[in-house]
Amino acid sequence: MPDKDYDALLEAMTLEEQVSLLSGASFWRTAAIERLGVAPVKLTDGPNGARGEDFSGGIRSAAYPVGIALAATWAPSLVEEAAADLAREARSKGARVLLGPTVNMHRNPLNGRNFECFSEDPTLASAMAVAYVRGVQSQGVGATIKHFIGNECEHERRTTSSQIDETTLREIYLPPFEAAVKEARVACVMTAYNALNGVHTSQNHWLLEDVLRGEWGFDGVVMSDWTATHSTAEGLLAGLDLEMPGPTVHRGAKLIAAARDDAALAGAVRRSARRILALADRVGAGEQDDLDTERAEDRPETRALIRRLGAEAAVLLKNDDRQLPLDPARLSRVAVIGPNSAKAVMFGGGSAQINAHYSVSPLQGLRQALPGVEITHAIGCPGDRYLPLLDQPVEIRFFEGVTMQGDPVLVKQGETSEFRWFGPVAPEVDHLAFSARLATTYEAPETGAYEIGLMSAGTSRLYVDGVLVLDAWNGWSRGQSYFGHGSDERRTVLHMQAGRRYEITLDYACGDGLTTTLKAVRFGLRPPSAKGSLEEAVALAKEADAVIVVAGLNDSWETEAEDRASLALPEPQDALIEAVLAANPATTVVIQSGSPVQMPWADRARSILQLWYPGQECGHALADVLTGRAEPGGRLPQSFPAGPEGLEGVMQRPDRGASVPYDEGSFIGYRGFLRRGDRPAFPFGHGLGYADIRFGESRVSATPEGASVEVVLQNHSDRPGQEVVQIYLRGAEDNACWLRAFRKLRLQPGERGEVRLDLTRRDFSRWSEEDGEWREMVGPVEILIGRSVEVIHNTHMVDLAGSKHCFAMSQTAGSETLR
């Protein structure tokens, strides 16, 4: 619709109607104006799957690899393909806008949301952001890049201010957003919870108007993160178009009254309303849209794509003696061990969680991949932060008011012993004041001491056979669960007898002021044998031809609104890995996490595979890589430190209301390691393959835009493989090193290939805060060509003389470590 039609439409609106467009009508929908044919737009989380409107349970959806896994592919074309498929998932939920991608930087390795983000490097993150946005928007769905900006810490994210100087912003944190706007014309930008330099990002005029719209030319919608609007007039005048979620807190009648007497504010209302109208047209929102019907579309092509993505993202960190891939012909017995071995850990926690169509565990995947091999299994040790949910039907009855009196207003069946509601629960339920009773019958599989746990956002109490065993009702207190709205888990131990059926009931209430935005309750139960046995694991390992240990984190350890407390694996996983390695050297350690973990046993492990959270095809993707059906295609998008030394500043948990100083400036990740002279456990860009691909000669030549780098590679093995050519620049000024270009190349056995990568003048520049613009680096610049930031094969010197590039064609052959 051309601008003149928007003008006519806006003229036909009352001020009240214009204002109604500037906040959500509900948690996931914008407002409609039926008399003028203005349709609502439905939004959905999130970056690794389209959940729909139900925050817990709900219609099933495809679970894709998380953001860090997508970035680990170093393959923008593949990420674009995945994002296009994800957009089709969004359409199946009736949504026109997807709340992703998340492009905050991996500054803090303990950030609870690192799994959702791409990288510590702005060049890699920018390439992934552009690919993701293009893929989503190729299907007519609007992408929402988030969180703008400085949300690199989840702990106290709502109360802290990220203190970032402009040079650091321009060089590290702004580039993915800038690229998404300029190169992919992203539809929406979501502001962050935190403040930037003392001003909330949702009302930061410099950020939203001067930079985003003024410099970059953004013409889409700026929305707040959920409940992160803090003012009526200030946010709107600063450029915040849409307050989410609805119903409004800061706009509505407040904004109408203010705009009647303020021409500038009324003009801002009109501009933002225009942008909401333009978004609805851009994504094809119409009056006939069926927003209530959500479909579960389990497509074969999506299954195959997710499986391929999982293998492309897997990073082979170590492979001494070519222990991998496994040769099925030489195997009679394989032991699969570890807390993540018999369950599929698909994604992290928070808004990234979805109700997946299905899940394939590592144990299932290996059993299918090795049909002629005996597969033994042991948990070894627990890995859950909270006691496991009951995976069986649980009835829930909802009551009006908080005392569970009268007849229930709604009865539903859940698939597990957890219920979460973000916003409305159901039309029949007053989500501001309701109570519920959960009930199920549990048949004990064995005799012994069972652990049982309870936690809730709201008050709760749990009964077994009518006896109160856990009380989070009297003396309820806020803990770390459920985005900081819930209590910590309360536990007890009960003796149960095998074969006996136990009636478990739970009372829950919300409405006493403890929580109104997010309501949740869960109970977990663990039989004695589910704790695992170190002795059993070691015994199986000793008898096996090969051992696969699958350890790591999960969605309770890495989650939105909370940061991890340590780089270490949860106890006692390190002890399990050490014991299994001692029992059988033919052990491969597989780590699932969305961020780095310490590996004190790494020197003793022959092979280590970083699997990330690869989505619903978890076990199949793992089996493909371990058996050599697929190449481990991943390279690290984040440095893996050996320990916390040197990172104490960025990992410090801020106090409530504190400033978070980004004192390290642009030297996060690998730049920080190089500056400090520290050696990470595994460097940025690192990853091994099964093929023997070697770097050959390289050439550098000047172009009108900057420079062109050509690199020759050859596959010297009898199997196909791939390598990622990485181009870094190192300036003489402060010895800073920057990834500026990369390309993944696939080669058949014996094949020789050539990669050409172009560098722009911006690539040879650093931000000058004094001049307020990009300036070319002073002095000679090294062009470093390698397979990681540490393993450099060829170097060229570039002398930046005036406005022209003069190239010294010196080349260093062979490999070196960049230090």
Catalytic residues: 225
- Strand blocks (E) in 100-220: 142-148, 161-163, 188-191, 195-196, 199-200
Measured in whole angstroms, the distance separating CA 311 from the mean position of its chain's CA atoms is 18
Task: Quickly tell me which residue has 């139900």 as its tokens.
Answer: 54
Dist CA 638 CA 737 (whole Å)? 15
* Cα–Cα distance measured from residue 213 to residue 216, given in angstroms and rounded to the nearest whole number: 6
Q: How would you list the strands of the sheet with 333-337, edge to edge?
A: 315-319, 607-610, 587-592, 546-552, 333-337, 374-378
Position of tokens 């033994």? Answer: 376
Sheet containing strand 467-472, edge to edge, reads 410-414, 394-400, 434-443, 501-510, 459-464, 467-472
**Under 8 Å between Cβ of 76 and 144:** no
| Cα–Cα distance measured from residue 301 to residue 413, given in angstroms and rounded to the nearest whole number | 31
Using DSSP's 3-state secondary structure scheme, residue 488 falls into: coil
How far is 660 from 129, CA to CA, in rounded Å? 25
Type and span of the H or E element at 745: strand 737-747
Burial of residue 209 (CB within 10 Å: 0-12, 13-18, 19+) is: middle
What are the structure tokens assigned to 400, written together? Answer: 């009006």
> Do 340 and 591 form a contact (C-beta atoms < 8 A)?
no
- Cα distance between residue 729 and residue 456, in whole Å: 51
Q: What is the DSSP letter of 184?
A: H
Helix (H, G, I), strand (E, B) or coil at 479: coil
- Side-chain-facing half-sphere of 698: CA atoms under 13 Å: 30
Alpha-carbon distance values, 691 to 325, 625, 629, 722, 740 (Å):
11, 13, 13, 7, 26
The neighbouring-strand residues paired with 786 are 726, 792
Length of the chain: 819
Q: What are residue 590's DSSP bridge partners?
A: 550, 609
- The dihedral built from the CA positions of residue 138, 141, 147 and 148, taken in this order, carries a sign that is positive
Token pair, residue 751, equals: 């094949």
Mapped onto helix, strand or coil, the DSSP state of residue 202 is helix
The Cα 238–Cα 209 span in angstroms is: 6
Task: Tell the residue number behind the tokens 């860009």, with chain if given.
Answer: 685
Determine the Cα–Cα distance for residues 188 and 280; give it in Å rounded to an integer.
12
Euclidean distance between CA atoms 785 and 764, whole angstroms? 15
Q: Are 456 and 486 in contact (CB under 8 A)?
A: yes
List residues bridging with 698 in a β-sheet: 711
| CA distance linking residue 649 with residue 89, whole number of Å | 40
Element (H, E) at 398: strand 394-400
- Spatial contact of 408 and 45, defined as CB atoms under 8 Å apart: no
* CA–CA gap between residue 146 and residue 248 (Å, rounded): 21
Q: Give burial (CB, 10 Å; 0-12/13-18/19+) of 778.
A: exposed
Q: Which residues pair with 162 in a beta bridge?
A: 196, 660
Structure tokens at 158: 């709502």
DSSP notation for 80-124: HHHHHHHHHHHHHTT-SEE---B-----STT-TTGGGS--SSHHH
Rounded CA gap, 69 and 621, in Å? 12
CB 29 within 8 A of CB 40: yes
